[in-house]
């Protein structure tokens, strides 16, 4: 039986993840669940509610939540990390500052993602260091955002650490694909995919018999985007997400030979995105008014009543990939999964040091990346530009370099000029004083 630490205990996603872990106990048996957060006040209501949930469903599991790193990281097999340095208040600024300058405002893409990256690197490194100090044999399963920048930072700064970077985005889209195709599960499909995190393409989707499912998928996505006839996951049903799933049809038109990751809209339809954003009410506001309020109110209610009866908290099925990943490592299953790993020749005509998102077989020694081969000029060009942004952010963080961060912004396909890049940078710098290294 395993001992798991959720880092980012105060996250609005945590209760859903706990419910998911409780449903998966047969596959992934647990003896201990711990939460760690550096904000005790935020973590407490979530911790108190989860204490009730765990006691009701699996009283044999030991549970605690803490702000003390030693208590948290001692005797742990897996750390599941989903921290948000700066919380939603800073996400709001990541989105609103670029929009004020007429540029895409998004938490992981463009200037917002760059700002968030500068905040996250230190936070994730701290988690790795605690883990290595108190549970040196544990694995850190990281899905803290912006995953691309965080992954590049860990590649350079903690090259030998047992950290695996994974993202739920392709999984969410594959769940939609399965629904579109009328399949029971996304695991009924075998996919080929390559790219960077939040920046990639499916090149092949087949069923287990080897039948090509791409033509049917493309025909559907070309008309409806990734909006299946029925609701797939409630997390992504707010207006801005519906819009994102729909936009896949236009992204598909830019390269009809593949199926795109929806986040490519921020790089290929930047003007459209800006026109359709409300600079005074962004995704962060949607989340703060929606998920935040719901989860915290509901957690307080459960804690007070000491019972989860009639709860509206739901299992986050979306996060099941973390259990897939943990079981792959724990039981050496060699499951095929998309992970963010060092390219190292897997994409033949691309920087071997780039962190790319590609299929890997995962076992107890970690991921074995599968060969992708050569990629077309269009994707290669886009990816080279974007990976340079990610690398420059990490270099800027390490060297405390204003200039490199400005270059990162200039290179982002979301930013029209060096002048605009500088204006955004100066505003972001002012807003992030408390979080960024001093440049």
- Is 168 known to be catalytic? yes
Pick one of 66, 165, 175, 235: the residue that binds ligand G6P (CB under 6 A): 235
Kindly tell me which of 127 and 287 has the beta carbon lying closer to ligand G6P.
Answer: 287
Tokens representing residue 366 in the block: 């970690």
CB of 172 or CB of 367, closer to ligand G6P: 172
Contact between 105 and 96 (Cβ < 8 Å): yes
Is residue 169 a contact point for ligand G6P (CB under 6 A)? yes
Of 69 and 98, CB closest to ligand G6P: 98
For residue 142, what are the β-bridge partners?
Answer: 81, 165
Residue appearing with tokens 């107890």: 364
Residue-wise DSSP of 150-179: HHHHHHHHSTTS-EEE--SHHHHHHHHHHH
The Cα 155–Cα 165 span in angstroms is 10
Q: Which of 36, 143, 194, 263 is catalytic?
A: 263
- Residue 245 binds ligand G6P (CB under 6 A): no
Distance from chain centroid for Cα 421: 25
Q: Which range, of 3-11, 164-172, 201-209, 218-226, touches ligand G6P by CB under 6 A?
A: 164-172
Choose the binding region for ligand G6P from 167-175, 363-371, 380-388, 416-424 (rule: CB under 6 A): 167-175
Q: Which entry of 37, 77, 168, 316 is annotated as an active-site residue?
A: 168
Among 168, 342, 357, 427, binds ligand G6P (CB under 6 A): 168
Considering the complex, state which of residue 87 and residue 301 has its C-beta at the smaller distance from ligand G6P.
87
CB of 63 or CB of 193, closer to ligand G6P: 193
Q: In sequence order, what are the beta bridge partners of 207?
A: 189
Residue 278, judged by CB atoms within 10 A of its CB (0-12, 13-18, 19+), counts as exposed
Q: Find the helix or strand (DSSP H, E) in which 199 lies.
A: strand 199-207
Kindly state the DSSP code that residue 234 receives in the 8-state scheme. Answer: G
Q: What whole-number distance in Å separates Cα of residue 21 and Cα of residue 28? A: 8
- Could you say which of 54, 121, 167, 387 contacts ligand G6P (CB under 6 A)? 167
Cβ(36)–Cβ(7) below 8 Å:
yes
Our answer to whether residue 193 is catalytic in this structure is no
User: Could you tell me the smallest distance in angstroms from the CB atom of residue 147 to ligand G6P?
Assistant: 7
Site string for ligand G6P, 269-298 (x = CB under 6 A): --------------x---x-----------
CA distance 90 to 267: 22
Pick one of 145, 154, 282, 414: the residue that binds ligand G6P (CB under 6 A).
145
Name the residues annotated as catalytic: 168, 263
Residues that bind ligand G6P (CB under 6 A): 108, 145, 167-169, 172, 235, 283, 287
């Amino acid at each position: 039986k395993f001992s798991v630490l959720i880092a980012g205990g105060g996250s609005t996603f945590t209760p859903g993840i706990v419910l998911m872990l409780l449903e998966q106990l047969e596959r992934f048996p647990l003896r201990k669940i711990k939460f760690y957060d550096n904000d005790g006040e935020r973590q407490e209501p979530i911790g108190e509610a989860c204490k009730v949930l765990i006691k009701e469903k699996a009283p044999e599991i030991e549970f605690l939540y803490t702000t003390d790193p030693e208590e948290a990281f001692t005797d742990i097999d897996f750390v599941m990390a989903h921290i948000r340095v700066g919380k939603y208040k800073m996400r709001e600024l990541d989105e609103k500052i670029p929009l004020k300058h007429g540029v895409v405002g998004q938490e992981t893409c463009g200037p917002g993602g760059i700002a968030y990256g500068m905040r996250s690197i230190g936070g994730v490194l701290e988690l790795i260091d605690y883990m290595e100090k108190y549970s040196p044999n544990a694995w850190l399963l990281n899905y803290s955002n912006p995953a691309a920048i965080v992954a590049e930072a860990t590649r350079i700064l903690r090259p030998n650490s047992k950290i695996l970077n994974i993202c739920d985005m392709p999984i969410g889209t594959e769940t939609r694909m399965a629904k579109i195709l009328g399949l029971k599960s996304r695991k009924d499909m075998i996919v080929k995919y390559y790219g960077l995190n939040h920046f990639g393409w499916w090149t092949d989707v087949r069923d287990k018999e080897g039948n090509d499912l791409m033509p049917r998928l493309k025909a559907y996505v070309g008309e409806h985007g990734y909006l299946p006839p029925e609701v797939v996951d409630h997390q992504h049903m707010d207006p801005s997400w519906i819009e994102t799933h729909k936009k896949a049809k236009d992204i598909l038109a830019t390269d009809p030979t593949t199926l795109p990751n929806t986040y490519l809209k921020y790089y290929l339809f930047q003007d459209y995105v800006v026109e359709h954003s409300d600079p005074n009410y962004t995704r962060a506001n949607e989340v703060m008014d929606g998920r935040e309020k719901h989860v915290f109110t509901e957690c307080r209610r459960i804690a007070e009543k000491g019972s989860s009866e009639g709860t509206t908290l739901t299992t986050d099925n979306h996060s099941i990939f973390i259990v897939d990943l943990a079981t792959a490592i724990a039981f050496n299953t060699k499951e095929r999964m998309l992970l963010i790993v060092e390219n190292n020749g897997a994409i033949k005509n691309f920087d071997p040091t780039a962190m790319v998102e590609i299929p890997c077989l995962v076992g107890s020694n970690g991921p074995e990346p599968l060969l992708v081969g050569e990629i077309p000029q269009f994707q290669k060009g886009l990816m080279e530009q974007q990976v340079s942004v990610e690398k420059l952010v990490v270099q800027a963080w390490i060297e405390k370099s204003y200039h490199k961060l400005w270059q990162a912004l200039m290179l982002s396909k979301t930013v029209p000029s060096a002048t605009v890049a500088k204006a955004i940078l100066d505003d972001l710098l002012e807003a992030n004083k408390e979080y960024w290294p001093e440049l």
